[in-house]
A and B are shown apart, each in its own frame.
Chain A
């Protein structure tokens, strides 16, 4: 394909008018209930206004009326694809406020399940991205493998989507005996499928043509908008909270921060945002392998460090690297058993805000591709 240039339309004396099109909230590829008000000049998008709020569930207000423990299940429901990752920063924040130190086994199980959930989330992201481009088969391949991860989570917590597994001062229950083997199986299968997906989808000429040079987000703009996660790293910025400000036991592991390298396409386009997710799945596999080695084998009481009473005092901003980006919670605790305020900083919300900037001048089919590469979850945007 030739370089994409500014499209100038000269209709001469023909009178045309721009069309306003509502994409969503019931549209196959708005990934939930997002409504995009799109202004079209033929097929060319001239303006995009995202309308959010269709999934607003008053997370922050409900948190003020629940105890610290009761907030955790609500956090699960924010980004319902990455519940395990969501729980981690909140629990770490409360533990920091109360000065609780948990054992190595608990920490490594937390890391392992977070990384497993990161793989599951990226699998969905790549799968739905492929589907936005019209490829249906990779979607089912990836969902088939995600099932294995969900099975492990089900054995651990009883839930397949919303786990409520990571608790303040420990876990719901200890890992079951064959946990290690199950996780190693998953890693093997994930690597196998990723090769298949690379062949079937990512290296496909049509797919490359559809995604390169579409929705290019320069690094400085990404930083100005506050983007994070694969969105920021796709633009070539090497910023990963696991590396920059290691939490939990991430400083013990050796892994690379994957960035969009621009080998195909330009740095910051939809292709590179997507390929970062593929690289990150591999890095997650590496972390899990190291964490499995680090994890003490002996089973232990994961309830041992549970606090008798959770009533911290003080305020804290706690953050973690979620699959979608930086998930942060600003928690104000005033010594009662309920938080005074819990403010969530959700990565999808911030990443979506850049959509109007990067999608102007492209076609409506590209708009869907760009939206797919941003990888939003509406539960987290609306909270």
Chain B
């Protein structure tokens, strides 16, 4: 377990594992506040307005104010809901997002759990959230919530297959499912990242288009996974009011949002790990110590979080059948071809 500095510091005991578990939780909380502020400020930047300006300097305390507001809100449970399911659903959704943090490699010296099936694990637990959405949607006893839940389930079976294909392709290329192994395969400079063909001889430029396609397929799929525009079909604010979270209020509603933001980071960090060299510095060995690696990783992941926010405030929403058309009939064939190309490359690669 050389990949975890806390185990080195405190030894292999229960307290170390508790600390390891708490660090991502603290990170997610801090990150969610930043992301909410980012959402507000990027939205206002896109829309030619100022955004929150009254709470603190330039409104930086706005996310904190919103959390306090949501904490104070009355926790409404509508009559005739299925109480156990209704109350657990937000937490199931959050667990799904948070569990993925177990294998997110923040640095070569810190990965909470260095599983050798990291990529597979992350893919498994991120589908867990849909169960929570189905639970919430069904138990709310509201037709809009029900529609949202069904849409979410049908959306999941569409986007996961092309996404899985791009994950398999990366696993083939790195011949590993371990997050740190995948990143170590991309050591060097930014020209050795998987998006630019990975580590290999100059012949790799022939296979760059395949990896670009895989990246685009994965990124579009991840937009659908996080329920963000243009694929916020399960929420579909203008059609089905709020979708699965129509009936939720107060802290339970905040839980859904918390999970959404956490999920945004998970998919972004997965993009970073798979295609953009994870915690590797873009300039070879320059600033490539374990502390700087945290910086590089968070910067790269936050960039993709930014792209997601940017897209949300630019694009309209697609219809549910159009999402299925895009995923099944467009992304899937592309992903197959790209997968074959990458598989061929990893076969002939010296």
Contacts and interface: CB of A to CB of B under 8 A. Distances in A.
Contact of A201 (B48, B240, B316): B316
B319 A365 contact: yes
A29 B314 contact: no
17 contacts: A19-B143, A21-B143, A43-B320, A130-B316, A134-B230, A134-B236, A134-B238, A135-B316, A140-B47, A140-B48, A141-B48, A144-B48, A200-B314, A364-B147, A365-B239, A368-B238, A368-B239
B232 interface: yes
In this complex, the member of B43, B151, B316, B318 whose beta carbon has the largest number of chain A beta carbons within 10 angstroms is B316
Contact of B238 (A28, A140, A204, A209): A28
B239 A206 contact: no
A147 B332 CA distance: 46
Contact of A137 (B46, B236, B238): B46
A131 interface: yes
B317 A133 contact: yes
Contacts of B236: 134, 365
Interface string B294-333: 0000000000000000000111111111100100000000
A136 to B, nearest CB: 6
Contact of A210 (B229, B319, B325): B319
Nearest to A206: B316
Contacts, number: 78
B313 A136 contact: yes
Interface of A: 1, 19, 21, 27-29, 43, 130-137, 140-141, 144, 200-201, 204, 206-207, 209-210, 363-366, 368
B320 A28 contact: no
B316 A204 contact: yes
Given A137-B314, A206-B230, A206-B316, A132 B238 contact: yes
B237 interface: yes
Nearest to A42: B150
Contacts of B65: none
A140 B49 contact: yes
Contact of B241 (A27, A136, A200): A27
A204 B315 contact: yes
Interface string B203-241: 000000000000000000000000001101000111111
Contacts of B322: 1, 209-210
Contacts of B240: 364
A31 B254 CA distance: 28
Nearest to A130: B316
B220 to A, nearest CB: 12
A62 B71 CA distance: 48
Contacts of A200: 314
Contacts of B320: 43, 363, 365
A335 to B, nearest CB: 51
